[in-house]
Chain A
Amino acid sequence: MSQTPRTDQDGSLSSRLGFPETTIEIGPTHPAIRRVMTPVGGTASFIVELDDDRITNLEVDIGLGHRGFEKQVESGSWEDALPYVSRLGWASGLHAEIAYCLAVESLAEIASPDRAIWTRMLVGELARVSDHYSRLGATMAAIGLRDAENVANAGEELASEALVAATGGGPLAGFNCFGGIRRGLSEHFLEGWSKQRSLIDDELTRFGSVATSNPTCTRRLRGVAPLVPEDAIAWSVTGTALRASGISADVRKDRPYLAYGALEFDVPAGEQGDDLDRMLVVIEEIRQSLGMIDQCHKILSSLGPGEVCVSGEVIIPEGEAVATVESSTGELAFFVVSDGVGLPRRIRCRAPSFFHAQVLPTMMVGARLDDLLPTVALMHLVSAECDR
């Protein structure tokens, strides 16, 4: 549908009627209304040039949520930065927290206890499940499939509940610290996981019946905003969008951090790099993450309670280090530079959303205006990390 080119020999309706090209501005809106009104809330403002409803030019204007994150965290101690780091995403903030801790830990040459490593993977995958469900919900909202949106939101809710039970406070729990985590998983979570897991799984099955096997949804998303692998590489696209374009690159497989090398999981990849492929990759990743959480849960149950963080003062010497994690938005990295005086010289966050906002015009020119919102939802722009 959306890929069918116009065949009117006389050009578009607008040009036949003598209307000039139209430019409209979508957004900006406040980030907090994302869930209620629009999947693009807050992240960016889109200046769209249109011929009829075809996008002839798109300018993405970011920076509305810029709050000087990097300068803020460089002005305090290394520990002071942690609460700011958690707030780089509503669920992917946990991934940022893990990446930052890993960077500082490799600088200070400290190794976390096994219990902390497996717990970090568990909560990271839970955050991914929650974030991926929210992305599916936003996509369904953008194409007007309210029943599928409700199913996805229910899945997100269940995953968030599990995350709260696991960390004691959801994504902003301040769960990680240098050398491990602040507290081990609660008995409440360890005992309740199998029941919660089957509920989360049920929503995935339900989502399949109302969305993936529903032609209203699949035909709507097939062929929309394709991203060819060459463009994905050239524009530094990562995460699910890169994999949907047929390149099965995943930090967890390629450069395993924590103990991902010991986990069994598949990296799904698409073929056409369109919106439908992006959605299918997200759905399959939820399934893979649930399998990973099961594996971590089994190991942690056998480890039992005990030490979760190294003791003693963490001394951060002079040096540089990089830590990269596969966040739910893509490849998220921290590059840290220390002078050895106790204050950070530089804390740089490589935010995947930044690159995904930049590539949008390449994907959207030629598409229809109403393809913009589902594509933005599936590319998963998170204002907090995009603008920093």
Chain B
Amino acid sequence: MSALDLDALRATHADLNVHASSSPTSDPDSPEVRMRVPGEHARTLLERLRGEADTPSVRLLDLTVVDRLDASPAGFEVVYRLASRVDEFAYRVHGFIPDSAEDNPSIDSVSALWPSALWLEREAFDLFGISFRGHPELRRLLLGTDFGADLGADLGADADLNGAPLRKSAGQGQLSSGAGR
């Protein structure tokens, strides 16, 4: 992906405060375009990238979370990996959710754009305690019902392997009320 394309992307999505750069992959000829946006704009950007058609021309390859505990500002990045149907390009969108004392970390669900996000968002909720607004059935996926509020989101960067207390104490009530499968 040339620098020109990145400039064009920044210009197209200027209203969403997008930071675009290039990131390496296993195929040196096709790096991923990394786009960092504030969490509240992530869904809008993804909707634009997906296109208008009934059948998406862009696939959602993966959705995951990176806990930026030590960054400044600290917070969660929800990472979406997209590829066009014929794999001409690949995007990686990082939606940033800053830590906040009052609110649970939350972001808009993209399950209406891609049904494959249904389980991916449940997994992120299960393991990181992120709430996806508008998800039709946000409950634990991988962990069992016996994982209550005290164990919580075990993939957070500050959780040790024994499930030590988390900094996201505000998120725990949310998790326990949504738990159960």
**B-binding residues in A (CB < 8 A):** 61-63, 66, 68, 70-72, 75, 99, 102-103, 106-107, 230, 233-236, 247, 249, 254-257, 319-325, 331, 333, 335, 337, 339, 345-346, 348, 350, 354-355, 358-359, 387-388
Residue contacts A-B, CB under 8 angstroms, 12 given: A62-B141, A68-B154, A103-B26, A234-B115, A236-B114, A254-B86, A254-B87, A255-B27, A256-B27, A335-B81, A345-B157, A358-B118
Per the bound structure, the CA–CA distance linking A337 and B79 in Å amounts to: 11
Interface contact B26-A257, CB-CB below 8 Å: yes
Hey, which chain B residues are within 8 Å of A255, CB to CB?
Answer: 25-27, 29-30, 87, 90
Please tell me if B59 contacts chain A, counting CB pairs below 8 Å: yes
Hey, which chain A residues are within 8 Å of B67, CB to CB?
Answer: 345-346
- Known A71-B159, A331-B61; judge A234-B26 contact (CB<8 A): no
Interface contact B55-A333, CB-CB below 8 Å: no
Interface residues of B in 84-110 (CB under 8 A from A): 85-87, 90, 92
Please tell me if B143 contacts chain A, counting CB pairs below 8 Å: yes
Per the bound structure, the CA–CA distance linking A234 and B29 in Å amounts to: 26
Interface contact A358-B26, CB-CB below 8 Å: no
**A-binding residues in B (CB < 8 A):** 23-27, 29-30, 32, 34, 55-56, 59-62, 64, 66-67, 70, 79, 81, 85-87, 90, 92, 114-116, 118-119, 127, 140-144, 154-155, 157, 159-161, 181
Per the bound structure, the CA–CA distance linking A242 and B141 in Å amounts to: 24
Q: Please give me the residue from chain B that is nearest to A354 by CB atom.
A: B119
Per the bound structure, the CA–CA distance linking A337 and B55 in Å amounts to: 32
- A75 partner, pick from B29, B61, B79, B161, beta carbons under 8 A: B161
- Known A68-B161, A106-B26, A348-B62; judge A320-B34 contact (CB<8 A): yes
Hey, which chain B residues are within 8 Å of A68, CB to CB?
Answer: 154-155, 161
Interface contact B155-A322, CB-CB below 8 Å: no
Interface contact A339-B70, CB-CB below 8 Å: yes
Interface contact B155-A70, CB-CB below 8 Å: yes
Q: Please give me the residue from chain A that is nearest to B117 by CB atom.
A: A236
- Known A331-B61, A337-B66, A345-B157; judge A63-B142 contact (CB<8 A): yes
Interface contact B62-A106, CB-CB below 8 Å: no
Q: How far is the CB of A248 from chain B (nearest CB, A)?
A: 10
- B62 partner, pick from A62, A254, A333, A346, beta carbons under 8 A: A333
Interface contact B27-A335, CB-CB below 8 Å: no
Interface contact A324-B25, CB-CB below 8 Å: yes
Hey, which chain A residues are within 8 Å of B118, CB to CB?
Answer: 358
Per the bound structure, the CA–CA distance linking A256 and B30 in Å amounts to: 9
Per the bound structure, the CA–CA distance linking A348 and B124 in Å amounts to: 12
Per the bound structure, the CA–CA distance linking A325 and B133 in Å amounts to: 32
